[in-house]
């Protein structure tokens, strides 16, 4: 069976219990939060909250950050099914960004896992806006994981941006193509955008996640901060 | 044999070559850099460069950051032995911070590995200042890795801050005790200091690595930015 669709708590391989500590904190924050937008995903979401894009622009949209470094699709699915989305106040939008850590899964498995998360979000929060930034390329030079993430993106764009595939699941789901214009003409990725060829620099966040911010502003009908 | 004293390149388990890309970039940067202070270590050093402490204060000391997420003691030893410290211009100080990822090693093995790195730094750069911030506690609740890191710190402080143990190796090496006052009276660590109970928030960096900045200013006889 596809491992991405089986809700799975992250194994505490080290023994310091940090993943479960974070999950428990997010469950508590959901109960007491008065935020309107939830960001959930892996380390790329987690570190977004320390960027100037977050502090200067995104946070003004009343956003909360549930990113956990190393998270895989099935981990996010587990977290949502176990209380992190049990909010006491209405949520307007969710930004979901996960998949690059599923390096041992096929693109279609990752895609199916993301669909499963979307179903679960709609199940819990109703017909909120769901924003899916496309997976980013990784590695300084071409490698199989760039292609893998690109294939996931092809599935996502076909499902959610192709009118022919519209159904109940696609309603209010917006795929934002942030993966373009990152790889240079020579097929390399610059450390000025991705300092370790996976995670974004401060400027990288402004450039790449700026599109996510713009999408949120449009959906929430909020004026953008220039 | 103690794995920490055997120079080891990080294994590219995923297959995107990111670690070696970063190493190669640092080797190139060493050749062309005009910086005077090098920070080297794991993700806690790596992410320091995106904190306001770095951008507003530390960077003014002409610092370069060679942090790589996930790095272990033996990885840093390998990097230094393979060109990252082959600078063309004089280096005044090195900040070395690594060890918390050696979760399967004993405190004494980690300590010996750090000594080996110090020997190698002195071998390459001569009698520069070497600043060693103590290892930080981790995990929201008490766990074996807090004790492990504390034991490493005990070895470091005894070796480098106890007059009785002074020798050629300890000359110009300064251990900065940054591990204190992080764990609360109830034995927990707040996410306001460590967002994932391992890595520091922006405020955490200001509070905890501020002591490292102060030490550098004293050693380099530079006035601190208030």
**How many cross-chain Cβ pairs, A to B, lie less than 8 Å apart?**
84
Domain that holds residue B186: 3-7+18-220
* Residues of chain A with C-beta less than 8 angstroms from the C-beta of B140: 17-18, 21
Coil vs helix vs strand at B31: helix
DSSP-derived secondary structure for B128-180: -EEEEEPPPP-SSS--HHHHHHHHHHHHHHHHHH-GGG--TTTTTEEEE--ST
Single out the residue of A152, A121, A109, A136 nearest to residue A204, CA to CA.
A136
What is the predicted pLDDT for the residue at B226?
A: 72
What is the predicted pLDDT for the residue at B222?
A: 83
pLDDT > 90? residue A9 = yes
* Residues of chain B with C-beta less than 8 angstroms from the C-beta of A104: none
How close is the nearest chain B Cα to the Cα of A45, in Å?
13
pLDDT tens-digit map of A42-79: 999 999 999 999 999 999 999 999 999 999 999 999 99
Here the ipTM equals: 0.93
Asked, for residue A224, whether it belongs to a domain, the answer is: no
Asked, for residue A107, whether it belongs to a domain, the answer is: yes
Asked, for residue B226, whether it belongs to a domain, the answer is: no
In chain A, the percentage of residues whose pLDDT exceeds 90 is 96
* Residues of chain A with C-beta less than 8 angstroms from the C-beta of B146: 16
What is the predicted pLDDT for the residue at B13?
A: 87
pLDDT tens-digit map of A146-173: 999 999 999 999 999 999 999 999 999 9
CATH number, domain of A168, equals 3.40.50.1110
What is the predicted pLDDT for the residue at A128?
A: 97
Tell me whether A188 touches chain B (CB under 8 Å): no
Query: Can you tell me the mean pLDDT for A2-16?
Result: 95
Asked, for residue A181, whether it belongs to a domain, the answer is: yes
Per-residue pLDDT of chain B in tens (226 residues, 90 and over written 9): 999 999 999 999 889 999 999 999 999 999 998 999 999 999 999 999 999 999 999 999 999 999 999 999 999 999 999 999 999 999 999 999 999 999 999 999 999 999 999 999 999 999 999 999 999 999 999 999 999 999 999 999 999 999 999 999 999 999 999 999 999 999 999 999 999 999 999 999 999 999 999 999 999 998 887 7
Asked, for residue B225, whether it belongs to a domain, the answer is: no
Asked, for residue A170, whether it belongs to a domain, the answer is: yes
Tell me whether A18 touches chain B (CB under 8 Å): yes
Asked, for residue A222, whether it belongs to a domain, the answer is: no
How far is residue A98's CA from residue A43's CA, in Å, rounded to a whole number? Answer: 9
Instruction: Tally the domains of chain B.
Output: 1
pLDDT tens-digit map of A12-43: 988 999 999 999 999 999 999 899 999 999 99
Asked, for residue A221, whether it belongs to a domain, the answer is: no
Structure tokens at B102: 């050696």
């Amino acid at each position: 069976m596809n491992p991405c669709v089986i809700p799975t708590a992250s194994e505490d391989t080290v023994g310091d219990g940090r993943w479960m500590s974070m999950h428990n904190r997010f469950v508590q924050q959901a109960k007491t939060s008065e935020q309107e937008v939830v960001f959930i995903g892996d380390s790329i979401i987690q570190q977004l909250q320390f960027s100037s894009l977050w502090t200067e622009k995104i946070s003004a949209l009343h956003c909360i950050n549930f990113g956990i470094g190393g998270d895989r699709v099935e981990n996010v699915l587990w977290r949502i099914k176990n209380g992190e989305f049990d909010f006491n106040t209405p949520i307007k939008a969710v930004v979901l960004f996960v998949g690059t850590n599923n390096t041992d899964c096929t693109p279609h498995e990752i895609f199916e896992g993301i669909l499963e998360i979307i179903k679960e979000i709609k199940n819990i929060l109703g017909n909120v806006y769901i924003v899916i930034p496309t997976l980013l390329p990784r590695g300084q030079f071409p490698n199989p994981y760039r292609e893998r993430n690109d294939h996931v993106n092809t599935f996502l764009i076909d499902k959610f941006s192709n009118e022919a595939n519209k159904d109940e699941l696609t309603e209010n789901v917006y795929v934002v193509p942030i993966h373009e214009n990152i790889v240079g003409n020579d097929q390399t990725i610059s450390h000025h955008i991705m300092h370790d060829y996976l995670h974004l620099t401060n400027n990288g966040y402004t450039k790449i996640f700026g599109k996510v911010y713009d999408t949120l502003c449009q959906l929430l009908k909020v004026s953008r901060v220039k």
